[in-house]
Structure 1
Amino acid sequence: MTAPHATFDLFDPAFVADPYPVLAQAREVAPIVWHEGLGLWLTTTHAAANDVLRDRRLGRIFRPRGASDDDPWTVFDWLHADSILDSEPPKHTRLRRLVAGAFNRGHIERLRPRVEEIADELLTGAAARIDGGRFDVIEAYAEPLPVLVICELLGVPASDWKRLRDWSQAIVRMYEVAPSVEAQPEAQRACDEFASYVEALSAERAARPGDDLLTALVEERDGGDRLSRRELVATVVLLLNAGHEASVNGFGNGLASLIADPAQLEAVLGSLDDDAAVARLVEEMLRHDSPLHLFERTATTDVELHGVTVREGQKVAALLGAANRDPAVFADPDRFDAAREPSPHLAFGAGIHFCLGAPLARMELQISVRALLRRLGAVRVVESRRRPTFVLRGYEHLVVERVPETRGTAPGWSRRG
């Protein structure tokens, strides 16, 4: 039997701009298809993606780039090999338990008032641009907000947020299916600098503990079943990279989808005081145009999945964007529906690698989108530019302007702030 094949080009600008029609066509071929160019299997349905993410025979196996201690990729290697994301049980079980123990000390919920303050401060700082006309919500709002929140969570000086953002952006360029040659030395330098920065901060917390997540992680490191030095650093780097990229892209993609449907936007503006409605809006933002599109696993033995055999050593990738537009799970999946419920999307993954920071990301998005829409009211996109990437899908720029108020506008459409 000939394996079902996918022929789409992940580097085609038209595909990157809007992959969903092509992914829908691939879904008609089979739940799992072979992509010759990538040399791996790809899921096209929600059920197949969910099974790939949950099947324990499919591991998250990191393959080091460096061959020796002299190789310049050594730091990049251990930052990933010693992280929760690229570990499997029993190491993953131990790391997740230790990190979750630090997270569960109330650090997330205590941040809520501070996240609200950060959102308000950013919008107040951009008030001249907002009131004067055009406003780039990525540059001035969506990008700095999650990094500042991570700084607050970890106890990192807020003045360092741009350094952390630049390190994160350099590292995550290596997560694309074919990163550029130029991206490699930039990621190498970012890993070196970021690791040294976290190690210095950890030493400070060991000497002078604070009421922050980094102190909690240091205490986990210094306990009986401890995080090693590298595991601690890798955890902090992962928290920034995953938390920053998911929040920025989820916000920008979701806001663009919402604005594209004036009727949906009007309904949302009229229900911003309803916590449940805002929560549903955020879930739809994450589903409709997911911030992460591809998550790889490797078969540790031959695995039969949805009519194909994934051989030991072969890779299979869950296409999360395709899963979240599957009509077998989501009615009218290409339509942005801010009131959609339930919404069993896979934007945060599933199984043992389900995103540990999902509660923080949801809280950030709910606070930030509510604050923005209260301040702006009705808006339209006047300029946008997508990132030229598929795995991490998002906007580099998303410039909006207010829509002039008209008679009969819904509550919440008036200017605020």
Structure 2
Amino acid sequence: MTDHLPTDEVAPAVVRAVDVASSSQDGRAGPPADWNPRGPRVRRDAVAAYDEMRSRCPVARGPDGTWTLFSHADVVRTAMDPVSFSNAVSRHLQIPNGLDGTTHTAYRAVVDRYFTPERMADLEPAIHDVARRLVEGLDVPGPIDAVHLGARFAVQAQSTWLGWPAELEPHLLRWVHDNQAATRSREPSRTAEVAERFTAIVRSLTDARREAGEDGPADVTAELVRDRVDGRPLTDEEIVSILRNWTGGDLGSMALCAGVVLTYLADHHDLQARVRSGVSDHELDAVLDEILRIDDPFVANRRVTTRAVTLGGRQVLAGEQVVLNWTAANRDPQTFGDPDEFDPVTHASDNLVWGTGAHVCPGRPLATMELRALTRAVLDATTAIGPDLCRPRERALPPSGGFTVAPLLLR
């Protein structure tokens, strides 16, 4: 649902970039790779590997010629320079995150209308009801997988917001799982299949609302079908792209966020007790942002250079792909000191969990509200959240972050 998060369209664009980035302008082979972003070291412990790369080689060339930026300064510089670093990195239409300049501005204005403070305030009671009902169905005391809980909540919350029927839940949960697996596979045929499946779901809903006209439901999906950009109606392709960005990006991301946040609270009893004792929404949001900074599940976004640039003393040619590693940037000791130190107030201004620059996440108000609602519901229904020592946690494999399995015990 955001400019900031990876979607099912990542893998095809990476494949496309290989031909551009693996050679120099005179046709000769480029320099040797500095690292392998999907190699065994990264697969064993991605966060530690990113930390090591930031200290050893903060601008690193991968085996496909793609450059990865690990330092906070380089990531911010790139995100804040849309002239030198274009977002048009995918072969697919991506609204608004794959657009640049005035075109991005026009579509971003459309998207931003759905996340105003007034609209979020109106939606918040319904989202809290979704979280409360879901948590009431859990066995307390008993075990949970925080990632699976987050995925179920994300589907139900998004369906409530968009006006989608409850019977879609198993199909969307399956799609989240298949989409993550396809992205990891880097196989264009798999990513294309899951993208087509999502398009079919969306079009069945938008077609029904278009056919119903004024007799149809008055929900966000129907509103989007009637919306306009630059004075003209949105096309079907544009509507699908926006809904893919909102829903495709958010469902998996909310599951990852829930896994990271609930696991961190389970491991840090003093912080859990502090939140349980009563904090304002503003204070809780700061806590959530800082937890996600320390273990950022939103690993990276891509740009492509429009001209030759120098980053970290290294020459990057025009047309080469650059990856902004948010996870590494959010743990840069040059900005945050000890990256594992929990200090939400001091670190807030430099926190990049939701991105920065023109493409900062437009859906941050909704995503934060959802995560706050789920966290409060779990804490309200329990006296303690602890690690499940009988079941191992499983970290997500690149290019994802966070956990794929996060077992916890509710008491």
TM-score bin (small chain): 0.7 to 0.9
Distance of aligned partners of 1:192 and 1:241 in 2 relative to their CA distance in 1, 3 Å threshold:
closer
Q: Which residue of 1 aligns with 2:46?
A: 19
Distance of aligned partners of 1:327 and 1:201 in 2 relative to their CA distance in 1, 3 Å threshold:
farther
> Quick check: 1:384–1:399 contact (8 Å CA) kept in 2?
yes
Distance of aligned partners of 1:110 and 1:201 in 2 relative to their CA distance in 1, 3 Å threshold:
farther
Separation in 2 of the partners of 1:111 and 1:344?
29
Shift of 1:360: 0.5
Q: Which residue of 2 aligns with 1:120?
A: 132
Shift of 1:339: 6.5
Q: Which residue of 2 aligns with 1:142?
A: 150
Residue of structure 2 aligned with 1:391, choices 382, 385, 399: 399
Structure 1 gaps, min length 5: 65-76, 404-417
Kindly indicate which of the two structures has a greater share of residues assigned to helix. Answer: 2
Residue of structure 2 aligned with 1:85, choices 88, 97, 100: 97
Q: Which residue of 2 aligns with 1:282?
A: 288
Separation in 2 of the partners of 1:114 and 1:101?
19
Residue of structure 2 aligned with 1:373, choices 356, 366, 379: 379
Separation in 1 of the partners of 2:293 and 2:173?
25
Q: Which residue of 2 aligns with 1:166?
A: 174
Shift of 1:30: 4.1
Residue of structure 2 aligned with 1:232, choices 219, 236, 239: 239
Q: Which residue of 2 aligns with 1:156?
A: 164
The two structures, once aligned, show a CA RMSD in angstroms of: 2.7
Distance of aligned partners of 1:104 and 1:209 in 2 relative to their CA distance in 1, 3 Å threshold:
farther
Residue of structure 2 aligned with 1:295, choices 286, 301, 304: 301
> Quick check: 2:146–2:258 contact (8 Å CA) kept in 1?
no
Work out whether 1:200 is the aligned partner of 2:207: yes
Separation in 1 of the partners of 2:363 and 2:39?
30
Residue identity opposite 2:405 in structure 1: H
> Quick check: 2:144–2:410 contact (8 Å CA) kept in 1?
no
Q: Which residue of 2 aligns with 1:53?
A: 79
Higher relative contact order (CA 8 A, sep 6+): 2
Distance of aligned partners of 1:9 and 1:138 in 2 relative to their CA distance in 1, 3 Å threshold:
closer
Separation in 1 of the partners of 2:282 and 2:94?
38
Distance of aligned partners of 1:297 and 1:341 in 2 relative to their CA distance in 1, 3 Å threshold:
closer
Work out whether 1:39 is the aligned partner of 2:65: yes
Shift of 1:87: 2.0
Residue identity opposite 1:41 in structure 2: W
Shift of 1:7: 2.5
Secondary structure of 1:33's aligned partner: strand
Distance of aligned partners of 1:398 and 1:267 in 2 relative to their CA distance in 1, 3 Å threshold:
same
Separation in 1 of the partners of 2:80 and 2:208?
36
Residue identity opposite 2:252 in structure 1: E
Structure 2 gaps, min length 5: 1-29
Secondary structure of 1:348's aligned partner: coil
Shift of 1:287: 0.7
Separation in 1 of the partners of 2:203 and 2:279?
44
- For each residue in 1:296-354, what CA deviation from the matched residue of structure 2 results, as whole angstroms up to 9, or x when unmatched? 11011112233222211101101010011111222321244567653522121222221
TM-score (norm. length: structure 2): 0.83
Separation in 1 of the partners of 2:215 and 2:226?
12
Work out whether 1:130 is the aligned partner of 2:156: no
Separation in 2 of the partners of 1:387 and 1:188?
25
Shift of 1:218: 2.0
Shift of 1:377: 2.6
Separation in 1 of the partners of 2:330 and 2:151?
24
- For each residue in 1:335-385, what CA deviation from the matched residue of structure 2 results, as whole angstroms up to 9, or x when unmatched? 445676535221212222211111111111112112212222322221244
Residue identity opposite 1:316 in structure 2: V
Separation in 2 of the partners of 1:215 and 1:395?
35
